[in-house]
């Protein structure tokens, strides 16, 4: 468990009463590849060993709408095991509406049994109101009770996982203990689809 000062500054007055939502980046919000892909959303030049290499990025369907919606009820943190020299410029492009309040990168992870683990106690936020969404269970190995699992995104244009999670996140935003609720409901797996609820669906499917 983390010891010392938290990685995040104190929550602002606006965010103090909101729960904290921790989002992974790669394979959760986007998929990145060193190989060219058809119609990438972004191309990020990254210097590796003195050579600039392009990274091709696909946004997960619904990611823009998802980010706009969760920011209404949560203090949003992106916590990635990627290096800042790649993730920071990517987030500058992805988070065009400035919904992400804080960014944490690989140096804030703990290397544990060969995996980069995101210790939620390092954030300085109450565990009873902190949720992590990550495609890799290794990433939240220290606090699995706080996880809302998500599948890995590669390139499926029909992927609706981010949209399907929104009703569950709305429910979690109103409970006293998110960890207890997630455990009681097995991380809300399996999940109902957004469409099956009869809720209005945004017109632009991808919101890109």
- What lies within 8 Å, CB to CB, of 101 at 6+ separation is 12, 15, 75, 76, 77
Q: How far is CA 20 from CA 41, 73, 125, in A?
A: 28, 9, 7
With beta carbons less than 8 A apart as the criterion, state whether 182 and 148 touch. yes
Is residue 164 flagged as an active site residue?
Answer: no
Q: What does DSSP say about strands 20-23 and 75-79: parallel, antiparallel, or unpaired?
A: parallel
Which H/E stretch holds residue 43?
strand 42-48
Query: Which of 5, 26, 49, 177 is the catalytic position?
Result: 26
Active site residue 54: no
Please say whether the beta carbons of 126 and 108 come within 8 A: no
* Catalytic entry in 24, 64, 95, 164: 24
Supply the residues annotated as catalytic: 24, 26
């Amino acid at each position: 468990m983390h010891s010392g000062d938290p990685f995040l500054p104190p929550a602002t007055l606006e965010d103090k009463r909101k729960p904290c939502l921790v989002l992974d980046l790669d394979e959760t919000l986007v998929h990145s590849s060193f190989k060219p892909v058809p119609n990438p959303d972004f191309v990020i030049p990254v210097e590796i060993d003195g050579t600039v290499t392009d990274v091709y990025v696909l946004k997960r369907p619904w990611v823009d709408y998802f980010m706009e919606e969760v920011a209404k009820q949560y203090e949003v943190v992106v916590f990635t095991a990627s290096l800042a020299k790649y993730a920071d410029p990517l987030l500058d492009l992805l988070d065009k509406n400035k919904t992400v309040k804080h960014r944490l990168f690989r140096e804030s992870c703990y290397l544990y049994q060969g995996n980069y683990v995101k210790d939620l106690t390092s954030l300085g936020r109450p565990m009873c109101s902190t949720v992590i969404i990550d495609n890799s269970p290794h990433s939240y190995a220290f606090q699995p009770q706080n996880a809302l699992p998500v599948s890995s995104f590669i390139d499926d244009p029909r992927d609706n996982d981010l949209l399907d999670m929104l009703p569950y996140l709305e429910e979690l935003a109103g409970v006293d203990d998110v960890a207890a609720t997630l455990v009681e409901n097995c991380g809300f797996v399996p999940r109902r689809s957004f469409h099956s609820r009869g809720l209005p669906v945004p017109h632009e499917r991808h919101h890109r």
